[in-house]
Amino acid sequence: MQEIYTTADLIRAASGDPLIVWAGQGFAPGVRAWYDGSAVAVASPELSQRDRLAVAGPPAEVARLVTAVAGEVGPSYRPFGDEDLLRELADRVPGLEFSAAFGWMDTAEIPVVTTTAGWLEGDDGVEELLAVASPSSYAWPGRTGVRRWAAISGDDGELLSIAADAWSAPEVGFLAGVATQMVARGKGLSRQVCGFVTAELVKRHGRAGLMVDRDNPAAIAVYHRLGYTYRRVAAAHF
């Protein structure tokens, strides 16, 4: 296996795969990447609250690469990538177990959305809204990689719907932390705030991505309407 040291080389090795490029995080401190034949792996610490090992390529080559990389970075790194690939890896790599399937979505389109959403100057009210509307969110104020929050507020200033710019890479921005007050649902506020953040991310990074529960068709439909395309992905663990 050969180590990769630059984003340009990572993009070439991964044929521009946005999931792999996102995991590279512009080679922020602690990020390492390798290739072996057509297989590529990126070890990215604390990426969306996990030590992640993003992988792509032919299953046999990826299995060989994952085995070697695990010896370099340790078992805390959880392989993730296309679902079919991860299921095969769980059969091929000793000690690796399939964990969960979910969705990756990305877009290079700037959605046209009429909205009053905007970036917050701080994060007042964000934790309170997340605690009620999305307690399982990976993005919370103060967590590593969570950069800023956008919101739609009511007339009294109360936050009604929020979304975060979190774990964005130079080439792929990342949308996370989406939450809407129960009493404000069904009014299109999530679409508006996500449309605002998506447009900002695409303008700044050229592409936006996100992860979504595959059993959340309502959220997937919102993201589809904003121009995102869906990709079946999964994770495994040692």
- Taking a C-beta distance cutoff of 8 angstroms, is the pair 113, 87 a contact? no
Helix (H) or strand (E) holding 180: strand 173-180
CA–CA distance, 17 with 39 (Å, rounded to integer): 12
pLDDT tens string 150-163? 999 998 889 999 99
Mean pLDDT rounded to a whole number for the chain:
96
Q: What band does 95 get if pLDDT is binned at 50, 70 and 90?
A: very high
Q: How many CB atoms lie within 10 A of CB 121?
A: 8
The answer to whether residues 165 and 126 touch, using CB atoms and an 8 Å cutoff, is no
Report CA-CA distances (Å) from 159 to 54, 80, 130, 200: 35, 34, 10, 20
Averaged pLDDT for residues 127-149: 96
- Across residues 172-186, what is the average pLDDT? 92
Task: Say whether pLDDT at 236 is over 80.
Answer: yes
pTM here is 0.94
Categorize the per-residue pLDDT at 62 as very low, low, confident or very high, splitting at 50, 70 and 90: very high
- 142-156: average pLDDT: 94
Structural domains for the chain:
2-104 (no CATH), 109-206 (3.40.630.30)
Cα 224–Cα 174–Cα 104 angle in degrees, nearest 5: 50
pLDDT at 238: 95
Supply the pLDDT for residue 33: 98
CA angle 109, 138, 101 (to 5 degrees): 75
Is the per-residue pLDDT at 204 higher than 90?
yes
Can you give the pLDDT at residue 155?
83
Token duo for residue 42: 């990126």
